[in-house]
Amino acid sequence: MTLKDLAEMLGLSPTTVSRALNGFPEVAETTRRRVEAAALAHGYRPNSQARRLATGRAMAIGHVIPLSRQNEMLNPIFGDFIAGASAVYATAGYDMVLITVADADQSRAYRALRAQGNVDGVIVQGPRAQDSRIALLSDLGLPFVVHGRASGVDLPYAHVDVNSARAFERATRFLIDLGHRRIALVNGLEEMDFALRRRRGFERALGERGLAPDPHLMLSGEMTEAQGHAAAHRLLARHDPPTAFLTSSLLSAMGVRRALWDLGLKMGRDVSILTHDDELGYFRNGAEEPIFTATRASVRAAGRRCAEILLAQIAEPGAPPVTELMEAVLVVGASTGPAPGARP
């Protein structure tokens, strides 16, 4: 059932049928109703390929996942981010295209996307401190929105980020106020922009209270359970072990927690663990109560906003890039207690 077929059945021209179905104002109401009824009755659906070709719009958004960072797909936030974005696409009639790309091919892949025209824009995930993708995409004129930021990039570009620095600054200050002096930072890979920002916030809070950051207490690595576990073991084996852990993700927090169990240490009495809510904190940290809802909602919101901003940008290419900074919700759990030996 094509537009032409439908038009013939109705004794109308394809143009009129197209206009009726696409809500053009000049169509007579009676005609529109007739057309709509017929379309419904015959289950007519415009062929999307044809429409795409005719309009020059792909009606699709690309989400590019670098293969090296497939961990991100495993990463719990990924699903929620996608869920948030896809809800927006669905209502706007866009498709969501997932594209996995080898690291070496990044540049080629984006150029191909541009030239082939099978997406109208892309979402950039997991930006690094100096992310070449941003310059490349600006250059190509392919609309994009970054989830996160790239500290080393000067160009203006649309992005949605969470205030990682402030979140970690507040978290660190919180631990200091509980009397902790030796606080470990189990951070993500520092080539990732968010990890850098988190460390900066951590150091800022320490500096503000006249504490020098101890490099031995600052580790970074892939944010996995295993890494958190290994890091905590290493740190707790020191002659001057930390009394508190600030971790960058739920997964590493779980690993840290497991290390404490290994050693028979009690959370909140011997050692405190604090992670923040916005990146991966699917559990009320330390407290044993999961808080899926709150965090999933915030990640989903980020996905939604990224998608909305991108669609707006596609609709109005001239507009200045929208940037949004969400404040992280710090969720402090029951096990985050005073430092051992600290006066209350």
- Cβ distance to its own copies smaller for residue 36 or 214: 36
Q: How far is the CB of 34 from DNA (least distance, A)?
A: 9
Residue 100's binding partner among DNA, its own copies, none (Cβ under 5 to 8 angstroms by kind) is its own copies
Q: How far is the CB of 207 from its own copies (least distance, A)?
A: 36
Residue 296's binding partner among its own copies, DNA, none (Cβ under 5 to 8 angstroms by kind) is its own copies
Q: How far is the CB of 108 from DNA (least distance, A)?
A: 18
Binding site for its own copies (CB under 8 A): 1, 43-50, 52-53, 58, 60, 65, 70, 72-76, 78-80, 82-83, 86-87, 90, 95-100, 111-112, 115-118, 224-226, 229, 254, 258, 261-262, 283, 288, 290, 292, 296
Q: How far is the CB of 29 from DNA (least distance, A)?
A: 7
> Using CA atoms, how far apart are residues 172 and 190, in angstroms rounded to an integer?
18
- Cβ distance to its own copies smaller for residue 30 or 49: 49
Q: How far is the CB of 168 from DNA (least distance, A)?
A: 48
Binding site for DNA (CB under 7 A): 2-4, 11-16, 18-19, 21-22, 25-28, 31, 46-47, 50-51, 53-56
Q: Is 212 left (phi over 0), alpha (psi -120 to 50) or beta?
A: beta
- Cβ distance to its own copies smaller for residue 86 or 248: 86
Q: How far is the CB of 98 from its own copies (least distance, A)?
A: 5
- Cβ distance to DNA smaller for residue 27 or 219: 27
Residue 285's binding partner among DNA, its own copies, none (Cβ under 5 to 8 angstroms by kind) is none
Residue 70's binding partner among DNA, its own copies, none (Cβ under 5 to 8 angstroms by kind) is its own copies
Residue 90's binding partner among DNA, its own copies, none (Cβ under 5 to 8 angstroms by kind) is its own copies
- Cβ distance to DNA smaller for residue 24 or 292: 24
